[in-house]
Structures are given as structure tokens and as C-alpha cells.
Amino acid sequence: MNNKAYFKDKVIIITGASGGIGRAAALAFARCKAKVVLAARNKEKLESLKEEILGQGGLALAIKTDICSFSDTQGMARETILKWGRIDILIANAGQYVQDAPGEIDLQAYERSLAVNFMGTLHAVKSVLPEMLRRGQGHIVVMNSLDAKKGIVGDGPYVAAKAALDGFGDVLRQELTGKGIGVTAIYPGRVDTAMIRHIKVPWISPKMSPEKVVGAIMRGVKRGKAVVVVPRAFSLLAPLNNMFPRLMDRAFRVLRIEGKMIRDQEEVGRDKNK
């Protein structure tokens, strides 16, 4: 079945719809004639995206939501049901890239990252579940990251939260099996969005377009996939890291796969040239 036939009329909540992957997902689902609910904190950006979708003949609802607040995500689910009567799909996508200096273990950064990337996702999922369970139908997409499968130096707070989400998604899928609700966890490599604009990436892990990730989300939902890694070749990362962790550490060091800022790398380059 093509995307349009599959997603037409589906009520789809997308958290983090004000930018990056979430925005691209909203536009793509709206083109398939889905009813998209745009959730994020920046109301202006949501309203402007809503206007863009309406202008293209699509259907959209903008709901200002901070996923760190459970009452906000409950409101998001309530408003959606009031407007469109049900929730077919949740794309739990909102997130933040929280880093700290290697070895620092910045407690506030860890708390912040867990609050948004982990607890925020739980809030969104817990808010839509009662309605999906009542109907015995629905699909939840948990946006993760390949960083959950192999830690990156400098990304401790982000990696820890995404690794917690990895466990949550795995349990959730099993707990909802047989209840009519599918769970798909998405693990992208690096994506060309504002989130990692300050990061310079090596040739081995180039930034892909948000649209590529959206294509993977759509295929994952349609096929009821448990796990989607994008690009697919990176599926080897987790098993390789389990078998040869130190070798993988070394490979990451040599290939310069790290959470370093462009500014830092430029400074390193300048130092070398001195």
C-alpha cells in the first residue's frame, strides 16, 4: 500500500513539530491527507507550519506543548480527541541534544536531558495510551538515536537519556503486544537539523536529510517494524559494540566520531598549524 492510501485520514500527533525531523514529518503526513497535530513549545513556528499545511490543502492543529510537563501532554491528547475523536499514531519525536565536557559529569545537564528526552517521551506516550487502549488500535513511534547504541564522547547526557529510552521502547513494545498497538523505535545516525548544526561530522557518518528519516518512519509504521535503523548499514553498530567495545572505542577515536563543536575543531586545527 502506498503512503497516501495508508496514512489518509489518520490522526497523527507529532511532538517536536516546530523544526527538523518533526516539521518534515508533519509536512509529509499532511501531504498524505493525514490529520496532523503539531506539538512543541514554539507556538509561532507551529502556527506558521499549520498555515503552510492548510495552504496546501492539508489538515493540521497546533497545540503548544512542553513535553516536560505531563499536564501539557495530557492536554495535547485531550485537545486532539476533542477535535478529531481519536489518536491513531503518536510520533514521540521531540528532543534536545544535551552535552557536557568529557569527564565532567555535569549533573544539571544529565537532569535536563533525562527530563526532556526520557521523561518527556514517557509523558507523551502515557498521555495517548488510554485512548489507544480503549479502541485497541494505534501506533507509537519512539524517536531514538544511534547514540543509544554506542556512546559518543562529550554526549554523555544525551546518550544516557536515549539509552534509557532504548530500554523503555523495548519494554513498551512487549507490553503492548496483542493489544492492537504497535511500537516502532527509530535509530537515526546524524541528521541535518538545527539540533546538531554546531557539530562537524566525519565522512563516515554524514548528516542525512530529515526527509530520509521521515521516509524510514513511514515505512516502519506501515510494516509494523519493531526497530528501524537509518541508514540501514549502521544496524551493525550495536552487535559490533557488544562484541568488541574497545575496538569500537578506538574506531570512533580514529574516525573522529565525537560530539565536538565546529568551533573546538577549528581551534584544534589552528593549534596544529602554529
The footprint of ligand NAP (CB under 6 A) covers 15-22, 40-42, 45, 65-68, 93-96, 116, 120, 143, 145, 188, 190-191, 193-196
Nearer residue to ligand NAP within complex by CB, 129 or 148: 148
Bridge partners (DSSP) of residue 15 are 39
Shortest spacing between CB 118 and ligand NAP, in angstroms: 11
Distance (Å, whole) CA 266 – CA 260? 10
- The yes-or-no answer on residue 97 being catalytic is no
What grid cell was written down for 158? 544525551
Cα Dmax for the chain: 67
Q: CB of 197 within 8 A of CB of 263?
A: no
Nearer residue to ligand NAP within complex by CB, 16 or 138: 16
Distance (Å, whole) CA 46 – CA 139? 23
Shortest spacing between CB 175 and ligand NAP, in angstroms: 22
6, 97, 110, 158: which is the annotated catalytic residue?
158
Distance (Å, whole) CA 239 – CA 243? 6
Nearer residue to ligand NAP within complex by CB, 196 or 261: 196
Q: CB of 211 within 8 A of CB of 193?
A: no
Shortest spacing between CB 42 and ligand NAP, in angstroms: 3
Is 175 buried (19+), middle (13-18) or exposed (0-12) by CB count in 10 A?
A: exposed
- Compute CA distances 44 → 49, 76, 237, whole Å: 9, 17, 39
Q: CB of 268 within 8 A of CB of 224?
A: no
Shortest spacing between CB 61 and ligand NAP, in angstroms: 15
Nearer residue to ligand NAP within complex by CB, 163 or 196: 196
Using CB positions, name the residue nearest to ligand NAP.
Answer: 20
Shortest spacing between CB 160 and ligand NAP, in angstroms: 13
Nearer residue to ligand NAP within complex by CB, 127 or 136: 127
Report the catalytic residues: 158
